[in-house]
Amino acid sequence: MATQIRADDPSYASDRDDTSYSVAEAAAKLDVHPVTIWRWIDSGELPATRIGARKIRIRATDVRAMCRDARHRLSTSQAPRPDAAEIARRQALLREILESRKHRVISPLTSVDLIRMARLGAAGVDDAG
């Protein structure tokens, strides 16, 4: 949640020297939607300062830190590359799936098929042959 301060508050004076961004500017800098910025502010991930009733400012240092954190999360969250054995296993599975598709009929029944089945069923005839 954004910290509420007033422009005449002495604690605000120290932040005046630091560049700060609006929610829209921070979103543009981080290449995310402004709603994401609000979500980060509400969750406490991104510090923000409320100035007056409607104005929110986010320090440039906090935006840069968020950018570094996001890069770190992306680099550590990526799945490891599969080794040669895993690639061979996946290729064999793909070949097996493609081969089994050749012997399957997956097309839907047509209205002609349904009428024929209904007539045969009503006549008590088995459609085995």
Smallest CA-to-CA distance from 41 within 68, 53, 59, 16 is with 59
What average pLDDT does the segment 77-103 reach?
88
Q: How far apart are CA 86 and CA 83, in angstroms?
A: 5
Domains annotated on the chain, with CATH? 3-77 (1.10.1660)
What average pLDDT does the segment 63-89 reach?
78
pLDDT at 81 over 80: yes
Contact 23, 62 (CB under 8 A): no
Compute φ and ψ for 56, nearest 5 degrees. Answer: -115, 135
pLDDT of residue 103: 78
CA atoms within 13 A on the CB side of 101: 7
Report which residue type is found at 13.
A
Q: What is the pLDDT of residues 27-59, one digit of tens each?
A: 998 888 999 999 999 999 899 999 888 889 999
pLDDT at 5 over 50: no
Question: Between residues 72 and 127, which one has the greater pLDDT?
Answer: 72
Confidence of residue 106 (pLDDT cuts 50, 70, 90): low
pLDDT at 19 over 60: yes
What average pLDDT does the segment 19-23 reach?
91
What average pLDDT does the segment 53-81 reach?
78
Q: What is the pTM of this model?
A: 0.44
- The enclosing H or E element of 37 equals helix 34-43
Q: How far apart are CA 120 and CA 127, in angstroms?
A: 7
Report which residue type is found at 59.
R
- The DSSP bridge pattern shows strands 49-51 and 3-5 to be parallel
Q: How far apart are CA 1 and CA 41, in angstroms?
A: 6
Highest mean pLDDT among 14-23, 24-33, 97-106: 24-33
